[in-house]
């Protein structure tokens, strides 16, 4: 009987010691995974698809985010997060604990990258920006047709395909163009959304200030109605740059105005055959609802804006004043569309 009691006592002691050991190990494990990690500043890492739990732990330890990969593995397994860890690019704040690292990876809240497309770029220039975005993947394909991409800021994740981002830009432009076309002025001298897009692309290049876009659009609309050539320098630049596929690193000359191209609005009347860039939403709205004005001319004022005129004589005085100011400031460029060489022609039906 005494032997049996002694055996029960030893069993109780052993079980108690086992609980103490397990409790101590559990407490140590919790302390280890909950303690602040060694990171001294935020760090971003990429977890590739189909990475195992042990490889994730090794990657985090190798990047200095956690101290003990084995503790991370045990903590993830015991907490039920081992199968919830998702591939992607994640940012870890300074002093991230192993427990916080698990939560970040299991949340699937990956790093969001921004691709900002400025207004007025050609499709070739936008394609170059996308090629330079290191977090994107794949070939974007040939540059889309001019005017098909809406300039704005696009969010994407590491590994997103460039072609998918291009598709998003095209859908965004299609929606924006449809919206502004539905809100257009009913008296515009053109009848298709594409013509509105072409006009917007000219306005985008000509107006360096948003508050002048509708006014410049109004000037172009008036000239279209009267059968006047638009005489827009950016259309000549587009023709000389092989339709935006290369950069023209010089100023225009008077000889350039004679280039034989349907995009040269110094020679051809009406709108060019297609857009010369990808206009932003504000330029689209300006082309859809241009300002009500009698003005037919504008010339740069040297400060980023323009001076407008209703008559050729008034425009000639503005050009003369601009030339006078430019002479006092040799670095200032005299725009070629400051040449008052055309009067209104027959009205366009």
pLDDT above 70 coverage of the chain, percent: 84
Query: Residues 6 or more apart from 84 whose CB is under 8 A from it?
Result: 106
What distance in Å separates the CA atoms of residue 216 and residue 165, rounded to the nearest whole number?
Answer: 32
Confidence of residue 338 (pLDDT cuts 50, 70, 90): very low
Residue 340 confidence (pLDDT): 45
Beta bridge partners of 115: 154
State yes or no: pLDDT of 42 exceeds 80. yes
Q: Which value, in Å, is the radius of gyration of the alpha carbons in the chain?
A: 33
Q: What number of other Cβ atoms are within 10 A of residue 50's Cβ?
A: 7
| The two structure tokens encoding residue 279 | 């206009």
Q: What is the mean pLDDT of residues 35-43?
A: 92
Per-residue pLDDT tens digits for 97-132: 999 999 999 999 999 999 999 999 999 999 999 999
pTM, 2 dp: 0.81
What distance in Å separates the CA atoms of residue 204 and residue 139, rounded to the nearest whole number?
Answer: 28
Confidence of residue 268 (pLDDT cuts 50, 70, 90): very high
Range name among 12-26, 117-131, 306-320, 334-348 with the lowest pLDDT average: 12-26
Cβ atoms of residues 320 and 335 within 8 Å = no
State yes or no: pLDDT of 245 exceeds 90. no
Q: Pick the residue with more confidence: 348 or 147?
A: 147
Per-residue pLDDT tens digits for 193-230: 999 999 999 999 999 899 999 999 999 999 999 999 99
| The two structure tokens encoding residue 166 | 């291009």
Confidence of residue 148 (pLDDT cuts 50, 70, 90): very high
Per-residue pLDDT tens digits for 228-243: 999 999 999 999 987 7
Which of 280, 275, 243 lies closest to 259, judged by CA?
243
Question: Pairing mode, if any, of strands 113-116 and 88-92?
Answer: unpaired
Instruction: Give me the helix-helix angle, 98-107 and 69-79, nearest 10°.
Output: 60
Range name among 33-42, 85-94, 323-332 with the lowest pLDDT average: 323-332
State yes or no: pLDDT of 184 exceeds 80. yes
For residue 121, give the DSSP letter: -
């Amino acid at each position: 009987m005494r032997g049996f009691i002694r055996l029960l006592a030893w069993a109780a002691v052993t079980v108690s010691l086992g609980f103490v050991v397990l409790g101590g190990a559990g407490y140590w494990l919790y302390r280890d995974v909950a303690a602040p990690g060694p990171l001294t500043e935020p760090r971003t890492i990429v977890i590739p698809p189909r990475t195992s739990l042990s490889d994730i732990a090794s990657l985090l330890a190798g990047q200095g985010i956690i101290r003990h990969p084995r503790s991370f593995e045990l903590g993830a397994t015991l907490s039920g997060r081992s199968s919830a860890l998702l591939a992607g690019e994640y940012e870890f704040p300074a002093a991230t604990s192993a427990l916080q690292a698990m939560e970040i990876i299991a949340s699937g809240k990956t790093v969001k990258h921004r691709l900002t497309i400025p207004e007025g770029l050609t499709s070739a220039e936008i394609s170059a920006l996308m090629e330079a975005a290191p977090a994107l993947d794949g070939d974007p394909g040939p540059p889309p047709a001019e005017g098909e991409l809406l300039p704005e800021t696009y969010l994407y994740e590491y590994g997103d395909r460039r072609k998918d981002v291009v598709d998003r830009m095209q859908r965004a432009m299609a929606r924006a163009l449809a919206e502004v076309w539905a809100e257009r002025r009913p008296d515009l001298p053109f009848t298709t959304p594409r013509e509105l897009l072409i006009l917007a692309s000219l306005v985008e290049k000509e107006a360096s200030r948003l508050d002048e876009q509708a006014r410049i659009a109004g000037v172009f609309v008036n000239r279209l109605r009267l059968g006047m050539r638009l005489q827009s320098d950016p259309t000549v630049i587009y023709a000389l740059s092989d339709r935006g596929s290369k950069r023209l690193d010089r100023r225009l000359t008077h000889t350039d105005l004679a280039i034989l191209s349907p995009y040269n609005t110094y020679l051809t009347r009406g709108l060019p055959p297609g857009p010369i860039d990808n206009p932003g939403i504000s330029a689209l709205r300006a082309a859809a609802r241009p300002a009500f004005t009698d003005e037919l001319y504008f010339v740069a004022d040297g400060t980023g804006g323009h001076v407008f005129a209703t008559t050729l004589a008034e425009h000639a005085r503005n050009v003369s004043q601009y030339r006078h100011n430019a002479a006092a400031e040799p670095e200032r460029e005299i725009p070629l569309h400051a040449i008052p060489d055309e009067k209104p022609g027959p009205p366009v039906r």
